[in-house]
Amino acid sequence: MFSWDLLANAVVSGLLLGGFYAAVSLGISLIFGLLEIANIAQPAFVVLGAYAAYVLNNAYEVDPILTGLAFTPVFYVLGAVVYRVYYESFERRGDEALRGLVFFFGLLFILEVSLSLKFGVDYRLVQTAYTKTSIEFGGVGIAFRYLVPCVIGVAMTLALYLFLSRTFYGRAIRAVSQDQQALRLMGVNPIQIKTIAFGVGIAAASLAGALLICIAPVIPSTDRDYIGRMFAITVLGGMGSIGGTLVAGIILGVAESFMATFFGPSWSLAVSFGILLIALAVRPAGLFGR
Amino acid sequence: MARTVPALIVGLLVVAAGIGLVTLRVNPYLYFAGYVILQYVVIATAWNILGGYAGYVNFGTPAFFAMGAYTSVFLIQSTRAPLPVLILAGGLVSALLGLGIGYLTLRLRGVFFSIATLALSIVLQTMIMNWEYVGGSRGLSVIRPSGPPFGNYVMFLFTVMVTLAVIAVVTARFIERSWVGRGLAALRDNEEAAECMGVPTLRLKLFATTISGFLLGVAGAPFPYYVTFVEPNSAFNLDYAVNALAMPMIGGTTSWVGPVIGAVLLGSAQQLATVTISSEMNLFIVGIVLVAFVVLAPEGLLGLVRRLRGR
């Protein structure tokens, strides 16, 4: 039975989900898309951010998004340290491709297992005033727990876009992705710039994690669901294109929402990986690729 | 070629020793744990044919393993086929999957290939979860056939796995020493240069992905009879992907001995940790060991030994 209400609901919730997906993927868009570092541990950092938000919300009833913002400096330092280790062990020796990938895979696993050792495998969630309310527009319900992450996701995308196009360090990051040697000739240390970019990417995970736990309860292995989504969005949007990340996030969000509405939620995970496989096989440069 | 015959003889001796071990009837838990370690010998060796020799990092090990396991489940459900048929069929289905992955390497290299294999694993898991005939997401109980040829059924499976491990290792050793292995090493180091020198890179890659897939499927095929309850989350477990990477990395990826050493060491350590500490702690150890090795000893234990000898 086809119903317009159902369709409208699917489109709206897909759009809202898309804004959130963009927020989750910004970090990997920066780290993988621009720096071409295959940080598959990124979703584990997002889940780490979600747990930070959970701990403070559970103990002191702090707003999760506030926690996400407050933890960005901590995540930035964490990211900078991870990049330094990666640089010293792989990039400088010139075998980042194979072993670097394994390094990040190991990191993903360590983060995930550490979380399940500390918190167990129960679902964790946050309590806020807005996670339970929703508004309705002519038969289409909009839940605040989706609307708030979507708005913040779009804001994050805009902020990162402005950072990359207007500030000195942002332009330096784009320059390092184009020609590292030329940047060195301009008197800028590319390693320092990459450290900053990696730090910013991980810092974005802190906020994205807070959004994640607003939307749905989180377990340590939630990161696995997002590996495919993140990379699908980054590849589909075109490596390193920030605007493309938002567009691809929305495409994926709507596609998943349709799948969940018309075929059942158990199929929605296959959508992201299906899109990723198709994008990789048909057009690896993505929609807005260079 | 001349050195293949002694290798085969050594292999047969290992199988004989495995069967001998069964007749000793030591603590039954040892067979139970030994099966898992041997299964990892097969998985690590199979992974290494593609990852170590050809340099294509496969994160989709769970997909191949589970395809073997679920082919068995399907055949048990439909025809109650005997174990050798299950193993062969599981291997063939995974080999086909491997062939498909091989064609992916035409367009995808390095990181993109790895992510695509991971994607494949999750897509297949979603499909299995929605397929009620093989248990769906709830899983399915499998009844072991009555009357194994000798001992109890776990002992029988143990000897089956000894045989499979020997077959896998002998195959890997044969590939490594033949022109195929040299061709794979050439394309690992520089695919364009190898292609220019007349190495048939596509055919070699297809061969590597197919053989690797076949052996991973073979490792998974007896799994339903081993656990007697199959559900997607255990068959598609990410632990297989991590272990398949970690074991060759610890041992050393350039030689057939590496994955065997890695699988025996890490597999035994995990079994010990599971019994004495907790199963989550053992995964934590695997992660730490993997990262430590990849950062500090990128050539694995074999590389360390070689470096010590060199001095």
Domain boundaries, chain A: 23-222
Rounded CA-CA distance A70/A62 in Å is: 11
B93 versus B133: the higher-pLDDT residue is B93
B157-207 pLDDT, tens digit each: 888 999 999 999 999 999 989 998 889 988 888 888 888 888 888 899 999
Confirm if A45 and A77 have CB atoms less than 8 A apart: no
Predicted local confidence at residue B25, as pLDDT: 63
Out of B118, B123, B137, the one facing A266 most closely (by C-beta) is: B137
Out of A224, A267, A280, the one facing B130 most closely (by C-beta) is: A267
Contact B127 A99 (CB under 8 A): no
Contact B242 A274 (CB under 8 A): no
Q: Which amino acid is at A46?
A: V
Confirm if A202 and A75 have CB atoms less than 8 A apart: yes
φ, ψ (nearest 5 deg) of residue A15? -65, -45
Q: Is B265 on the interface with A (CB under 8 A)?
A: no
A241-290 pLDDT, tens digit each: 888 899 999 999 999 888 888 887 777 777 877 888 787 777 766 676 65
Q: Which residues contact B107 (CB under 8 A, 6 or more apart)?
A: A280, A281, A284
A183-200 pLDDT, tens digit each: 888 888 888 999 999 999
Predicted local confidence at residue A71, as pLDDT: 92
Chain A residues within 8 A (CB-CB) of chain B? 32, 38, 40, 85, 89, 93, 95, 97-99, 101-103, 105-107, 109-110, 113-114, 116-117, 221, 224, 227-228, 231-232, 235, 264, 266-267, 269-270, 273-274, 276-277, 280-281, 284
Contact B123 A97 (CB under 8 A): no
Predicted local confidence at residue B245, as pLDDT: 87
Residues of B in contact with A281 (CB under 8 A): 104, 107-108
Instruction: Say yes or no to pLDDT of B28 above 90.
Output: no
Phi-psi region of A264 (alpha: psi -120 to 50; beta: other; left: phi over 0): left
Contact B59 A105 (CB under 8 A): yes
Predicted local confidence at residue B190, as pLDDT: 84
Compare all CA atoms of chain A with the CA of B281 and give the residue at the minimum distance.
A117
Contact A273 B123 (CB under 8 A): yes
Q: Which amino acid is at B193?
A: A
Nearest CA-CA distance, residue B157 and chain A, Å: 30
Predicted local confidence at residue B175, as pLDDT: 92
pLDDT tens string for chain A (290 positions)?
567 778 888 888 889 999 999 999 999 999 988 888 888 899 999 999 999 999 998 888 888 888 989 999 999 999 999 999 998 888 877 766 678 888 888 899 899 889 988 888 888 888 877 777 777 777 777 888 888 889 999 999 999 999 999 999 989 888 888 888 888 888 888 889 999 999 999 999 999 999 999 888 899 888 888 888 888 888 888 888 888 899 999 999 999 888 888 887 777 777 877 888 787 777 766 676 65
Contact B284 A98 (CB under 8 A): no
B260-292 pLDDT, tens digit each: 999 998 888 888 877 777 777 777 888 888 888
Rounded CA-CA distance B264/B38 in Å is: 8
Residues of B in contact with A85 (CB under 8 A): 295
Predicted local confidence at residue A80, as pLDDT: 94
Compare all CA atoms of chain A with the CA of B300 and give the residue at the minimum distance.
A99
SS (H, E, C) chain B: CCCHHHHHHHHHHHHHHHHHHHHHCCCHHHHHHHHHHHHHHHHHHHHHHHHHHCCCCCCCHHHHHHHHHHHHHHHHHHHCCCHHHHHHHHHHHHHHHHHHHHHHCCCCCHHHHHHHHHHHHHHHHHHHHCCHHHCCCCCEECCCCCCCCCCCHHHHHHHHHHHHHHHHHHHHHHHHHCHHHHHHHHHHHCHHHHHHCCCCHHHHHHHHHHHHHHHHHHHHCCHHHHHCEECHHHHCCHHHHHHHHHHHHHHCCCCCHHHHHHHHHHHHHHHHHHHHCCHHHHHHHHHHHHHHHHHHCCCHHHHHHHHHHHC
Instruction: Say yes or no to pLDDT of B61 above 80.
Output: yes
Predicted local confidence at residue B90, as pLDDT: 94
Nearest CA-CA distance, residue A137 and chain B, Å: 34
B263 versus B6: the higher-pLDDT residue is B263
Compare all CA atoms of chain B with the CA of A283 and give the residue at the minimum distance.
B107
Residues of B in contact with A221 (CB under 8 A): 238
pTM of the model: 0.85
Q: Is B111 on the interface with A (CB under 8 A)?
A: yes
The two structure tokens encoding residue B58? 């496969």
Residues of B in contact with A273 (CB under 8 A): 119-120, 122-123, 126
CA neighbours closer than 13 Å in the CB half-sphere of residue A98:
21
Rounded CA-CA distance B102/B113 in Å is: 10
The two structure tokens encoding residue B63? 């997909």
Q: Which of A25, A109, A222, A266 to mutate to test the interface with B (most CBs of B within 10 A)?
A: A109
Contact A99 B116 (CB under 8 A): no
Q: What is the dihedral of CA A249, A265, A275, B60, to 10 degrees?
A: 120
Strand partners, A137: A140
Predicted local confidence at residue B4, as pLDDT: 64
Question: pLDDT band at B1, cuts 50/70/90?
Answer: very low
Rounded CA-CA distance B67/B240 in Å is: 13
Rounded CA-CA distance A112/B230 in Å is: 24
Out of B108, B137, B290, the one facing A106 most closely (by C-beta) is: B290
Strand partners, A140: A137
Confirm if B249 and B294 have CB atoms less than 8 A apart: yes
The two structure tokens encoding residue A123? 């679902």
Out of A93, A107, A277, the one facing B291 most closely (by C-beta) is: A107
